[in-house]
Amino acid sequence: MAKPTVDGTTTSTLFGSKDCTVIKEKIDLKLTKDHSDYIKSYLINYKITYKISSPKKEKLDLVFVGINMMNSENISVNGTTITASKIKKFPENFKDKDGDGLYELKFDQANTYYIPPDDAISFVANLEAGENEIIIEYNGYPEYNVFGILREFKIEYALYPSKFWKSFGPIEVNINMPNDTEIRSVNQGALQDLKNGNYQLKIDKIVLDDLEINFSTKLSILGKILLFIQPIGLTCISFLILAFLHFKWIKNTRKRRPKKFNYSVILGSLLVITLCFFVFIFGHDLILWVINEEHMKQGYILLAVFTYPIFLIIYLMIAWYFDATCKMKLNE
Protein backbone atom coordinates (compact mmCIF):
# COMPACT_ATOMS: atom_id res chain seq x y z
CA MET A 1 0.00 0.00 0.00
CA ALA A 2 1.28 3.47 -0.87
CA LYS A 3 2.41 5.67 2.00
CA PRO A 4 -0.43 8.06 2.91
CA THR A 5 1.87 10.94 3.91
CA VAL A 6 4.94 12.81 2.69
CA ASP A 7 7.51 13.27 5.47
CA GLY A 8 8.41 16.74 6.59
CA THR A 9 11.07 18.25 8.82
CA THR A 10 11.18 16.91 12.38
CA THR A 11 13.36 18.83 14.79
CA SER A 12 14.00 18.92 18.52
CA THR A 13 14.99 21.17 21.32
CA LEU A 14 18.66 21.08 22.30
CA PHE A 15 20.18 18.07 24.02
CA GLY A 16 21.84 19.72 26.98
CA SER A 17 23.47 19.35 30.37
CA LYS A 18 22.40 18.52 33.92
CA ASP A 19 24.53 21.47 35.07
CA CYS A 20 22.59 24.17 33.19
CA THR A 21 19.02 25.45 33.29
CA VAL A 22 16.92 26.50 30.30
CA ILE A 23 15.09 29.53 31.63
CA LYS A 24 12.91 29.85 28.54
CA GLU A 25 12.65 28.56 24.98
CA LYS A 26 10.99 30.60 22.24
CA ILE A 27 10.12 29.08 18.87
CA ASP A 28 9.27 31.46 16.02
CA LEU A 29 7.75 29.74 12.97
CA LYS A 30 7.15 31.68 9.77
CA LEU A 31 5.32 29.81 6.99
CA THR A 32 5.36 30.82 3.34
CA LYS A 33 3.83 29.07 0.36
CA ASP A 34 6.11 26.80 -1.66
CA HIS A 35 5.28 26.81 -5.38
CA SER A 36 8.15 24.53 -6.41
CA ASP A 37 5.79 21.67 -7.34
CA TYR A 38 2.10 21.04 -7.95
CA ILE A 39 1.41 20.32 -4.27
CA LYS A 40 0.32 23.37 -2.29
CA SER A 41 3.02 22.99 0.34
CA TYR A 42 4.83 25.41 2.62
CA LEU A 43 8.32 26.39 3.65
CA ILE A 44 8.91 26.92 7.35
CA ASN A 45 11.52 29.25 8.77
CA TYR A 46 12.41 28.16 12.30
CA LYS A 47 14.05 30.57 14.73
CA ILE A 48 14.66 28.94 18.11
CA THR A 49 15.86 31.11 20.98
CA TYR A 50 17.12 29.61 24.25
CA LYS A 51 17.74 31.52 27.47
CA ILE A 52 20.23 29.34 29.37
CA SER A 53 21.56 29.87 32.88
CA SER A 54 25.01 28.48 33.61
CA PRO A 55 26.52 28.36 37.13
CA LYS A 56 29.97 29.15 35.72
CA LYS A 57 31.88 30.10 32.61
CA GLU A 58 32.27 26.91 30.58
CA LYS A 59 32.30 25.25 27.18
CA LEU A 60 29.27 23.07 26.61
CA ASP A 61 28.76 20.40 23.93
CA LEU A 62 25.26 20.79 22.50
CA VAL A 63 23.40 18.71 19.92
CA PHE A 64 20.46 19.82 17.80
CA VAL A 65 18.48 17.25 15.77
CA GLY A 66 16.85 18.21 12.49
CA ILE A 67 15.49 15.31 10.41
CA ASN A 68 14.89 16.39 6.78
CA MET A 69 16.12 19.85 7.67
CA MET A 70 17.19 22.06 4.79
CA ASN A 71 20.89 23.00 4.73
CA SER A 72 20.60 26.60 5.81
CA GLU A 73 21.25 26.56 9.56
CA ASN A 74 22.57 29.62 11.34
CA ILE A 75 23.67 29.46 14.99
CA SER A 76 24.73 32.20 17.36
CA VAL A 77 25.81 32.08 21.01
CA ASN A 78 25.56 35.34 22.94
CA GLY A 79 25.53 37.26 19.67
CA THR A 80 28.54 35.47 18.14
CA THR A 81 27.78 33.53 14.96
CA ILE A 82 29.13 29.99 14.70
CA THR A 83 29.96 29.04 11.13
CA ALA A 84 29.04 25.67 9.62
CA SER A 85 32.64 24.48 9.65
CA LYS A 86 32.68 24.74 13.43
CA ILE A 87 29.61 22.59 14.06
CA LYS A 88 30.23 19.46 11.95
CA LYS A 89 32.33 17.48 14.45
CA PHE A 90 30.36 15.07 16.62
CA PRO A 91 30.98 15.11 20.38
CA GLU A 92 32.22 12.06 22.26
CA ASN A 93 28.73 11.04 23.34
CA PHE A 94 27.96 10.12 19.72
CA LYS A 95 28.83 6.53 18.92
CA ASP A 96 28.24 4.66 15.68
CA LYS A 97 25.67 1.93 16.37
CA ASP A 98 26.76 -1.41 14.86
CA GLY A 99 28.31 0.31 11.85
CA ASP A 100 24.87 0.97 10.31
CA GLY A 101 25.40 4.71 9.98
CA LEU A 102 23.19 5.61 12.95
CA TYR A 103 24.78 7.39 15.86
CA GLU A 104 23.89 6.61 19.44
CA LEU A 105 23.08 9.69 21.44
CA LYS A 106 23.33 8.72 25.09
CA PHE A 107 23.30 11.30 27.86
CA ASP A 108 22.40 8.89 30.67
CA GLN A 109 21.88 5.16 31.21
CA ALA A 110 18.11 5.25 30.86
CA ASN A 111 17.76 7.24 27.63
CA THR A 112 19.30 6.38 24.26
CA TYR A 113 18.38 7.79 20.85
CA TYR A 114 19.67 6.75 17.43
CA ILE A 115 20.13 9.55 14.91
CA PRO A 116 21.49 9.70 11.33
CA PRO A 117 24.59 11.92 11.43
CA ASP A 118 23.30 14.11 8.60
CA ASP A 119 20.27 14.96 10.74
CA ALA A 120 22.20 16.34 13.72
CA ILE A 121 24.09 19.56 14.34
CA SER A 122 26.77 19.45 16.99
CA PHE A 123 28.47 22.56 18.31
CA VAL A 124 30.35 23.91 21.29
CA ALA A 125 28.76 26.84 23.11
CA ASN A 126 31.03 29.18 25.09
CA LEU A 127 28.76 30.00 28.02
CA GLU A 128 29.26 32.82 30.45
CA ALA A 129 28.38 32.55 34.12
CA GLY A 130 24.76 33.59 34.44
CA GLU A 131 22.27 34.05 31.58
CA ASN A 132 23.17 33.13 27.99
CA GLU A 133 21.32 33.30 24.69
CA ILE A 134 21.56 30.68 21.94
CA ILE A 135 19.71 31.19 18.65
CA ILE A 136 19.32 28.50 15.99
CA GLU A 137 17.71 29.42 12.67
CA TYR A 138 16.99 27.07 9.76
CA ASN A 139 14.40 26.14 7.14
CA GLY A 140 12.23 23.08 6.75
CA TYR A 141 8.84 21.95 5.53
CA PRO A 142 5.77 20.25 7.06
CA GLU A 143 4.55 16.69 6.68
CA TYR A 144 1.32 16.35 4.67
CA ASN A 145 -1.12 13.64 3.59
CA VAL A 146 -1.72 12.60 -0.02
CA PHE A 147 -4.80 10.44 0.60
CA GLY A 148 -8.19 11.65 1.81
CA ILE A 149 -10.18 14.81 1.19
CA LEU A 150 -8.57 17.65 3.13
CA ARG A 151 -4.80 18.04 2.91
CA GLU A 152 -3.56 18.64 6.44
CA PHE A 153 -0.03 19.69 7.27
CA LYS A 154 1.83 18.76 10.43
CA ILE A 155 4.74 20.46 12.16
CA GLU A 156 6.59 18.14 14.55
CA TYR A 157 8.97 19.30 17.26
CA ALA A 158 10.51 16.87 19.76
CA LEU A 159 10.48 18.04 23.36
CA TYR A 160 11.99 14.96 25.03
CA PRO A 161 15.57 16.40 25.13
CA SER A 162 14.30 18.78 27.82
CA LYS A 163 14.81 15.95 30.32
CA PHE A 164 18.58 16.17 29.79
CA TRP A 165 18.78 19.68 31.28
CA LYS A 166 18.95 20.47 34.98
CA SER A 167 15.57 22.12 34.55
CA PHE A 168 13.56 23.40 31.62
CA GLY A 169 11.35 26.49 31.67
CA PRO A 170 8.23 27.37 29.66
CA ILE A 171 8.12 27.19 25.87
CA GLU A 172 6.56 29.96 23.77
CA VAL A 173 5.68 29.21 20.15
CA ASN A 174 4.88 32.11 17.81
CA ILE A 175 3.41 31.13 14.45
CA ASN A 176 2.96 33.37 11.42
CA MET A 177 1.24 31.82 8.41
CA PRO A 178 -0.60 32.98 5.26
CA ASN A 179 -4.07 34.38 5.89
CA ASP A 180 -5.74 31.62 3.87
CA THR A 181 -4.52 28.92 6.30
CA GLU A 182 -5.63 28.03 9.81
CA ILE A 183 -4.43 25.83 12.68
CA ARG A 184 -6.76 22.88 13.16
CA SER A 185 -5.25 21.35 16.31
CA VAL A 186 -2.30 21.22 18.69
CA ASN A 187 -1.62 18.29 20.99
CA GLN A 188 -0.52 20.28 24.06
CA GLY A 189 -0.35 23.78 25.43
CA ALA A 190 -2.74 26.73 25.24
CA LEU A 191 -3.25 28.13 21.72
CA GLN A 192 -4.26 31.75 21.10
CA ASP A 193 -5.50 33.02 17.74
CA LEU A 194 -4.03 36.52 17.40
CA LYS A 195 -5.76 37.02 14.00
CA ASN A 196 -4.29 37.82 10.58
CA GLY A 197 -2.47 34.48 10.43
CA ASN A 198 -0.72 34.91 13.79
CA TYR A 199 -0.97 32.36 16.58
CA GLN A 200 0.75 31.94 19.93
CA LEU A 201 1.14 28.69 21.84
CA LYS A 202 2.36 28.53 25.43
CA ILE A 203 3.56 25.30 27.02
CA ASP A 204 4.14 25.65 30.75
CA LYS A 205 4.41 21.93 31.41
CA ILE A 206 5.73 19.33 28.95
CA VAL A 207 3.31 16.39 29.12
CA LEU A 208 4.20 14.68 25.80
CA ASP A 209 7.53 13.93 24.15
CA ASP A 210 6.52 15.67 20.91
CA LEU A 211 4.68 18.83 19.97
CA GLU A 212 2.40 18.49 16.94
CA ILE A 213 0.77 21.43 15.18
CA ASN A 214 -1.75 20.57 12.46
CA PHE A 215 -2.96 23.16 9.96
CA SER A 216 -4.75 23.34 6.63
CA THR A 217 -6.30 25.71 4.13
CA LYS A 218 -8.88 27.96 5.78
CA LEU A 219 -12.35 26.52 5.20
CA SER A 220 -15.63 28.30 4.51
CA ILE A 221 -18.72 27.48 6.59
CA LEU A 222 -20.04 25.32 3.75
CA GLY A 223 -16.68 23.59 3.46
CA LYS A 224 -16.66 22.80 7.19
CA ILE A 225 -20.20 21.41 7.00
CA LEU A 226 -19.42 19.19 4.00
CA LEU A 227 -16.15 18.04 5.54
CA PHE A 228 -18.04 17.11 8.73
CA ILE A 229 -20.75 15.26 6.80
CA GLN A 230 -18.22 13.49 4.54
CA PRO A 231 -19.25 11.64 1.33
CA ILE A 232 -20.66 8.79 3.41
CA GLY A 233 -22.96 11.27 5.18
CA LEU A 234 -24.15 12.72 1.87
CA THR A 235 -24.78 9.17 0.70
CA CYS A 236 -26.80 8.27 3.81
CA ILE A 237 -28.96 11.40 3.45
CA SER A 238 -29.57 10.62 -0.22
CA PHE A 239 -30.39 7.00 0.62
CA LEU A 240 -33.02 7.96 3.20
CA ILE A 241 -34.74 10.33 0.77
CA LEU A 242 -34.59 7.94 -2.18
CA ALA A 243 -35.66 4.91 -0.11
CA PHE A 244 -38.66 6.83 1.27
CA LEU A 245 -39.76 7.77 -2.26
CA HIS A 246 -39.14 4.22 -3.50
CA PHE A 247 -41.17 2.54 -0.76
CA LYS A 248 -43.99 5.00 -1.42
CA TRP A 249 -43.82 4.05 -5.10
CA ILE A 250 -43.90 0.34 -4.23
CA LYS A 251 -46.95 0.82 -2.02
CA ASN A 252 -48.87 2.87 -4.63
CA THR A 253 -48.02 0.42 -7.42
CA ARG A 254 -49.13 -2.52 -5.27
CA LYS A 255 -52.48 -0.80 -4.62
CA ARG A 256 -53.03 -0.47 -8.38
CA ARG A 257 -51.79 -4.02 -9.07
CA PRO A 258 -52.78 -6.02 -5.94
CA LYS A 259 -52.02 -9.45 -7.41
CA LYS A 260 -49.66 -8.76 -10.30
CA PHE A 261 -45.89 -8.53 -10.44
CA ASN A 262 -44.65 -5.28 -8.93
CA TYR A 263 -42.02 -3.97 -11.37
CA SER A 264 -41.23 -1.00 -9.07
CA VAL A 265 -39.37 -3.30 -6.65
CA ILE A 266 -36.56 -4.21 -9.06
CA LEU A 267 -36.53 -0.98 -11.06
CA GLY A 268 -36.61 1.20 -7.95
CA SER A 269 -33.89 -0.82 -6.19
CA LEU A 270 -31.57 -0.37 -9.17
CA LEU A 271 -32.27 3.37 -9.23
CA VAL A 272 -31.85 3.88 -5.47
CA ILE A 273 -28.56 2.00 -5.09
CA THR A 274 -27.09 3.33 -8.35
CA LEU A 275 -27.92 6.94 -7.49
CA CYS A 276 -26.54 6.51 -3.97
CA PHE A 277 -23.25 5.19 -5.34
CA PHE A 278 -23.06 8.13 -7.74
CA VAL A 279 -23.56 10.47 -4.77
CA PHE A 280 -20.81 8.64 -2.86
CA ILE A 281 -18.33 8.88 -5.73
CA PHE A 282 -19.07 12.41 -6.88
CA GLY A 283 -19.57 13.62 -3.32
CA HIS A 284 -15.78 13.47 -2.93
CA ASP A 285 -15.34 15.68 -5.98
CA LEU A 286 -17.98 18.12 -4.72
CA ILE A 287 -16.26 18.51 -1.34
CA LEU A 288 -12.83 18.84 -2.97
CA TRP A 289 -14.22 21.59 -5.22
CA VAL A 290 -15.83 23.48 -2.32
CA ILE A 291 -12.69 23.39 -0.13
CA ASN A 292 -10.45 24.07 -3.16
CA GLU A 293 -8.27 20.95 -2.80
CA GLU A 294 -6.65 19.06 -5.65
CA HIS A 295 -4.22 16.24 -6.39
CA MET A 296 -5.64 14.17 -3.51
CA LYS A 297 -5.65 10.40 -4.02
CA GLN A 298 -8.79 8.39 -3.35
CA GLY A 299 -9.55 4.70 -3.04
CA TYR A 300 -13.34 4.99 -3.06
CA ILE A 301 -13.98 4.02 -6.72
CA LEU A 302 -12.55 0.54 -6.25
CA LEU A 303 -14.51 0.24 -3.00
CA ALA A 304 -17.73 1.20 -4.81
CA VAL A 305 -17.17 -1.37 -7.57
CA PHE A 306 -16.78 -4.24 -5.11
CA THR A 307 -19.58 -3.28 -2.73
CA TYR A 308 -22.26 -2.24 -5.27
CA PRO A 309 -23.70 -5.75 -5.87
CA ILE A 310 -23.72 -6.51 -2.13
CA PHE A 311 -25.73 -3.40 -1.27
CA LEU A 312 -28.03 -3.98 -4.26
CA ILE A 313 -28.90 -7.54 -3.17
CA ILE A 314 -29.50 -6.52 0.45
CA TYR A 315 -31.69 -3.58 -0.50
CA LEU A 316 -33.59 -5.62 -3.08
CA MET A 317 -34.44 -8.22 -0.42
CA ILE A 318 -35.73 -5.49 1.92
CA ALA A 319 -37.82 -3.91 -0.87
CA TRP A 320 -39.23 -7.31 -1.84
CA TYR A 321 -40.18 -8.03 1.79
CA PHE A 322 -41.91 -4.64 2.03
CA ASP A 323 -43.85 -5.34 -1.18
CA ALA A 324 -44.84 -8.81 0.09
CA THR A 325 -46.14 -7.27 3.33
CA CYS A 326 -48.21 -4.72 1.38
CA LYS A 327 -49.62 -7.50 -0.83
CA MET A 328 -50.67 -9.62 2.16
CA LYS A 329 -52.49 -6.69 3.77
CA LEU A 330 -54.35 -5.87 0.56
CA ASN A 331 -55.42 -9.51 0.00
CA GLU A 332 -56.62 -10.18 3.56
In the chain, the largest separation of any two C-alpha atoms, in whole Å, equals: 101
Residue pair 279/234 in contact by the 8 Å Cβ criterion = yes
At 28 the three-state DSSP class reads: strand
Per-residue pLDDT of the chain (332 residues; tens, 9 = 90+): 345 656 667 766 777 777 788 889 999 999 998 866 656 688 899 999 999 888 888 887 777 777 777 766 788 889 888 754 333 445 555 555 555 566 666 555 566 666 666 667 777 788 888 999 989 888 888 888 887 788 889 998 888 778 777 888 888 999 999 998 999 999 988 899 998 899 999 988 888 888 899 999 888 999 899 989 988 899 999 999 999 999 999 999 888 888 788 888 999 999 999 999 989 888 888 888 888 877 666 666 777 778 888 999 999 999 999 988 888 887 76
Rounded Cα–Cα distance for residues 263 and 285 (Å): 34
CB 96 within 8 A of CB 148: no
pLDDT for residue 84? 46
What is the pTM assigned to this prediction? 0.78
Rama region for 111: left / alpha / beta (φ>0; ψ in -120 to 50; rest): beta
Within 10 angstroms of residue 128's Cβ, the number of other Cβ atoms is 13
Return the ∠ at Cα 115 (arms to 132 and 187), rounded to 5°: 70
Single-letter amino acid, residue 122: S
Q: Rounded to an integer, what distance in angstroms lies between the CA atom of residue 74 and that of residue 98? A: 32
